[in-house]
């Protein structure tokens, strides 16, 4: 479905992006069936696939691909800040031992 100028039509382009998004979604579902021992790798792959999908949606459906690079930079800064803040909070996660591990069960009839 090429136009007379040899370019793909907008409709075909949107269907191609839809197909790519469908493929990435199916890949995400497939990744979740990985072995539980590789949970950190699974999470990293899922985040990467989600970022890829977000980039496709932003580039084509939000038309950022056709805008100036400054507008794309404005959209990328919050993403960078979210990632930075998530990594900044990681040391706090393991600073204090989690108290919910190996908690004895409450005796029968005990109420709070």
* pLDDT tens string 20-79: 999 999 999 999 999 989 988 999 999 999 989 988 888 888 777 777 777 777 877 888
The DSSP symbol for 103 reads: P
Check whether 96 has a pLDDT greater than 80: no
Where do the structural domains in the chain lie, given as residue ranges?
1-61, 66-92
How far is the C-alpha of 3 from the C-alpha of 23, rounded, in Å? 26
Give the residue carrying structure tokens 């069960």.
105
pTM of full prediction above 0.75: no
Beta bridge partners of residue 2, listed in sequence order:
8
Residue 18 has pLDDT above 80, yes or no: yes
> Cα separations (Å) of 79 from 16, 83, 103?
25, 6, 38
């Amino acid at each position: 479905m090429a136009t007379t100028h040899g370019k793909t039509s907008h409709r075909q382009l949107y269907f191609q992006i839809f197909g790519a998004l469908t493929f990435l979604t199916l890949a995400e579902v497939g990744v979740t069936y990985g072995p539980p021992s590789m949970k950190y790798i699974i999470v990293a792959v899922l985040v990467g696939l989600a970022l890829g999908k977000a980039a496709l949606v932003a580039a084509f459906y939000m038309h950022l691909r056709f805008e100036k690079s400054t507008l794309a930079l404005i959209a990328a800064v919050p993403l960078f800040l979210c990632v930075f803040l998530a990594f900044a909070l990681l040391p706090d996660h393991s600073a204090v031992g989690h108290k919910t591990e190996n908690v004895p069960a409450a005796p029968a009839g005990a109420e709070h």
